[in-house]
Amino acid sequence: MTRADPSRRLVLASGLALAACRSEAQPAPWTGPVPALKDIAPFPVGACVPSAYLDDPSWVELARRQLDQITPEWELKMEYVLQSNRGDYRFDAPDRIADFARDNGLRLHGHALIWYAQEAPYFMTLDPKRFAGEYDRYIREVAGRYAGRMVGWDVVNEAVAEDGNGLRDCLWSERLGGQEAYIVRAFEQAKAADPNAVLFLNDYNLENNPTKGTTYLRLVERLLTLGAPLGGLGVQSHLDIEIPDGQIRNFIREAARFGLPIHISELDASQRRDGRLPDTRSLKHKRARQHALTRELVTAYMELPAAQQYGITTWALRDRDSWLRRPPRDDGRDSLVLFDDWGQPTAMFAGFVEGLNGAA
Ligand code: G3I
């Protein structure tokens, strides 16, 4: 097959994309009164939030109506708290989010104490004698600061390898005696700092990639065997809307076998497909997949005993608040959470409500 020259390929691709957009007028995913999810769900409904959004009246109004839980999106992570090279911490932004939660009767979920992706420069400066002590101090002081106010913590984030084969190596595993060692240590320090918080192991692609899901569940089992005070399973659920039906349900049923609380901690379902070829899927198809997979997830979640329903948190309240709508990923069109750019219900919202009503 002769390969079209690049400029022709580009014209072809943009033509396809334009044609796809032009014929995309779709009925609104939701018509009629909009229920408050926090009132109709038997479990907490949450969203992540950066402190800047607390200055957006429309975000605050929608959050107050729809949510009973919030998660700081990034300002309670090491990248924000431990910016200095002197080992001192800053809490202005997370304190503001915690105060907003208190003042509005919202549960507060902490994210994230230890993450392979956040190896603060300060830790790079430490000799072996001080490293472990400073690791422990960070966890104890950050978790301790919100003791009694945090319903739960993502203690360790994304410990499983990207492809699901084994666990990640990282600064923490290299400097603290191995992968299991740094993880158990983090949970022990967090438990000492806040004995009443539910302590989660949080990860992603667990339903998108069954191999990764299996490795994650094996790690849960291993940590419990080692006596780590692991109290909950954090399932991020950044859904790939093209995965086969049933994968989400199967994973949640497998995860439920530990009898621990499960937090769907970062739900979103991007309509975008990265890659070189143009995405010619129709908007109707993408919305149908978002609707179906959200309904599958919520239906499976509703089957859990109440004690295991920690909550479902979306990784943004409105489409335009999403990490995937920020540069460099932003295409300005992705719709991936419960409310669109104007705060109106999306296909995910419709699937969520159907899942609550058992209309699977
Ligand atoms: O707001 C500041 C801006 O003032 C500053 O000019 C700019 C450049 O420094 O940074 C902006 O803050 C950024 C923030 O997102 C808000 O956009 C931070 O640098 C950036 O690191 C932060 O990225 C967050 C990322 O985790 C890393 O912490 C994303 O918001 C957040 O959505 C993303 O969330 C992760 C979860 O923690 C774990 N699971 C995957 C998920 C998506 O990657």
> How many residues appear in the chain?
360
Q: Give dist(CA 93, CA 144) in Å, integer.
A: 16
| CB within 8 Å of 92: residues ≥ 6 apart | none
- Residue 321 pLDDT: 97
> Is 6 a residue whose pLDDT tops 50?
no
What are the pLDDT digits (tens) for 89-123?
999 999 999 999 999 999 999 999 999 999 999 99
The answer to whether residue 203 scores a pLDDT higher than 80 is yes
**Model confidence at 316: pLDDT above 80:** yes
Ligand 1 residue neighbourhood (C-beta within 6 Å): 50, 73-74, 77, 79, 157, 204, 236, 266, 323, 326
CB atoms within 10 A of CB 310: 28
The residue whose C-alpha atom lies closest to atom 38 belonging to ligand 1 is 157
Question: What residue owns the CA closest to ligand 1's atom 4?
Answer: 52
What pLDDT digit, counting tens, does each position of 116-157 carry?
999 999 999 899 889 999 999 999 999 999 999 999 999 999
Mutate to test the pocket of ligand 1, among 73, 118, 160 (most ligand atoms within 8 A of CB): 73
Residue pair 269/299 in contact (Cβ under 8 Å)? The answer is no
Query: pLDDT tens digit string along 288-309?
Result: 999 999 999 999 999 999 999 9
Q: Which pTM value belongs to this model? A: 0.93
For atom 32 of ligand 1, which residue has the closest CA? Answer: 323
User: What is the per-residue pLDDT for 360?
Assistant: 53
Lowest mean pLDDT among 13-27, 230-244, 343-357: 13-27
Distances (CA, A) of 153 to 7, 191, 214, 317, 338: 50, 10, 22, 20, 23
Q: How confident is the model at residue 331 (pLDDT cuts 50, 70, 90)?
A: confident
Q: Which residues pair with 70 in a beta bridge?
A: 47, 108
The whole-chain average pLDDT of the chain stands at 93
Two structure tokens written together for 313: 């948190």
What's the CA-to-centroid distance between 74 and ligand 1, angstroms? 6
Which one-letter DSSP state was computed for residue 326? Answer: S
- Which residue type sits at 208? N
CA quadruple 204, 202, 151, 103: dihedral, nearest 10: -50
CB 157 within 8 A of CB 200: no
